[in-house]
Amino acid sequence: MARNNRERRGKGPREDHFYRRFLRIAVITLLVVIGTFLGVVGGVLVFWYRSLPDVSLLKRYEPSLTTHIYDCKGVVIANLFEENRIWVPLDKVPKNLIYAVLASEDSEFYYHEGINVRGILRALWSNLKSGKIVEGGSTITQQLAKNLFLTPSKTLERKIKEMMLAFKIENSYSKDEILELYLNEIYLGHGAYGVQAAAKTYFGKNVWELSTAECALLAALIKAPEIYSPYRNLDRALSRMRYVIRRMELLGYISKEEAEKALSENLIFSGTKEIRDWKAPYFVSFVLKKLLEDYGAKQVYRGGLRVYTTLDLDLQAYAEEAISKAPAEAALVALDPKTGFIKAMVGGKDFKRSQFNRAVQARRQPGSSFKAIVYTAAFENGFTESTLVEDSPIEFPNGWKPVNYDGKFHGWVTLREAFEFSYNVVAVKVAQEIKPRTIIDYAKKMGIESSLPNDLSIALGSASVTPLEMAVAYACIANGGYRVKPIAILEVRDKDGKLLEKNSPTFERAIKEETAYLMVDMMRHVVTRGTGVRARLNRPCGGKTGTTDNFIDAWFVGFTPDLVAAVYIGNDDCTPLGKNEATGGRIAAPIWKDFMEKALKNVPPSDFPIPENITFVKVCAQSGKLPTFSCPNVIEQAFIRGTEPMESCDIHGGGRSPQDNTFLYPQDKVPPQSIKPKNEGNQKGKNEEMDEIEKKFQELLKKYKIKS
């Protein structure tokens, strides 16, 4: 009976004591385990917290900004970047874009301390219900912390660090400062970082010009820019945009009417060319090389420089169009002879296929176009347009026998005729007279920087030079004798607008003004009746053709008072362009003309100024001497005063008046081959003035009965 009572009462005192003791030990052990766990976790958290980046660095944060390159009219021609970003202050961001971002990413941004507990719990519940991650609980501050300081790895450690950093950032910066950083830092697809670059990428406009619907579209991209890009899946992008607009309405950011208007808006996308493509790729690559040399890759690609150049995008388009018609690879470079500003540069027919910039990198033989430099040196050393040189066979000790393109010899010819029709033998004999060293010296003075051969082959353009060098040398002739420095960059400013570099025209007297005009006079006749007739313009101009042996290279370099352009055509492997037809006059001159006519269509024609020490004299085209009534071809040539011919033509005979430079037969019988004077308007005025003086003089003689 007693035993049954003990069983009903349970365990005895000893067993009960053991049970309580075990329970205490279990509880203590559990507490120790929990404490240890919490201690370890706490230690880890403390370690992680102490290893977090210093958020005060944000005060010195320098984001990767896009460098912009502009043409002379302020049009963007290229953007250089590692991350395409254009920083904008918060006050430039439209309020509806801010509302759209808050509605889609963090509607309680201005109320939490960096971590939104309710948002985390809400996201957790949504994810549990769906069985997968469908919603994130990250605040804008957390996203900023992740983008700036952490890796995108999806781990518990990264998430905890993200929360800690968000808390630190919130305690160090204002909400507006955080939001400005965020809006300029986020990636929005297609290489665009920040809302300004994204506005340019998707809509081709500034962020402050965006409509409500456009703002919602940008905000819609934040969640997954590659998924919601309208360039990849327009329907998906518009669906996400509509969600953002409805969220804005729900939160009271916009009215129902504003929401309906935004939903009905027809979005027009610009395509990605606005940011990605270079509009003048060969010129941009030329400028980029200089920028990298002067500023380094970091500042060029991350510093947000603003680079203002000399390029005229309209002229560039004309140049590219003209070069596209070339029968082989080609280059064209054009510059203003008065300033040296490069206005157009095309280094090849297809930049995507070949980035080799033939305008500045291809050193090719210029052929007879180099004769402009040869004859410039000759004029500086006593030669005139009327100087006679015998075009006859010549052979040198090494066996070299220069020949003319037509295979003929033309006897005694003037320098002018030899230049107009590009007689090789005469050029060699002139070089022999003045010495190759003299030609080299003048070439260097005029802008040729490449090494040149110190032998007579230089007279025929055996040197290897670039189209840009030839354009600079010809500019020296076009502008009255000054060497100009070719300039591509006008100004460089930093991201804050501070001036870093400014380039102005530089001039250095290279040849005499009179010499330059004599060459202008010679070269304008190359295009009126010489080898360059296919380059003739309806305005004063001059130029020279160039063709190398076996028709490997073809050139035309020419100018007006306002523009110089050099055209080069040739195969990169130096194979011939063709036979007989592939000359500079036939294939390069028409391309030059095509470009120049379009480039100057809005520029009023002007003539080359005549130096005071230049005079014009009628001469026999064949002998270069004063004409007689028997001379069949009388032309007017420019001379420096004191170098005019004094002897009459001894080829055609006949007589002439010793009093003046008129013919003994009536003026209306002047041979039709003769040409009008240069600067016809000025010369006509001078002739009329002289006629009036002569008339009054004759009246005085008659009045006082004096015989003339």
pLDDT at site 47: 46
pLDDT confidence of 678, banded at 50, 70, 90? Answer: very low
Task: Give the integer Cα–Cα distance in Å for 422 and 226.
Answer: 62
The predicted model gives 197-202 an average pLDDT of 93
pLDDT at site 679: 41
Q: What is the mean pLDDT of the chain?
A: 84
pLDDT at site 58: 60
- Give the best-scoring range by mean pLDDT among 74-88, 113-127, 377-391: 377-391
pLDDT at site 278: 87
420 is catalytic: no
pLDDT per residue over 437-464, tens digit each? 999 999 999 999 999 999 999 999 999 9
- Out of 64, 138, 368, 623, the active site residue is 368
The predicted model gives 223-241 an average pLDDT of 92
pLDDT confidence of 672, banded at 50, 70, 90? Answer: very low
51 is catalytic: no
Within 8 A by CB and 6+ apart from 642, the residues are none
**Residue carrying the six token digits 């090789």:** 424
Task: Give the integer Cα–Cα distance in Å for 383 and 415.
Answer: 8
- Least reliable range by pLDDT among 46-55, 248-257, 456-465, 539-548: 46-55
Task: Tell whether the model's pLDDT for residue 162 goes beyond 80.
Answer: no
pLDDT at site 675: 28
Task: Tell whether the model's pLDDT for residue 680 goes beyond 90.
Answer: no
Q: Is the CB of residue 196 less than 8 Å from the CB of residue 202?
A: no
Say which DSSP state 413 is in.
E
pLDDT at site 658: 38
pLDDT at site 676: 32
- Out of 105, 162, 185, 420, the active site residue is 105
pLDDT at site 275: 44
pLDDT per residue over 5-48, tens digit each? 444 445 555 566 666 666 666 666 666 566 555 555 454 445 44
Q: Is the CB of residue 300 less than 8 Å from the CB of residue 542?
A: no
Task: Tell whether the model's pLDDT for residue 393 goes beyond 80.
Answer: yes
**Residue carrying the six token digits 């009628």:** 618
pTM of the model: 0.75
Residue 80 sits at φ, ψ, to 5 deg, of -115, 130
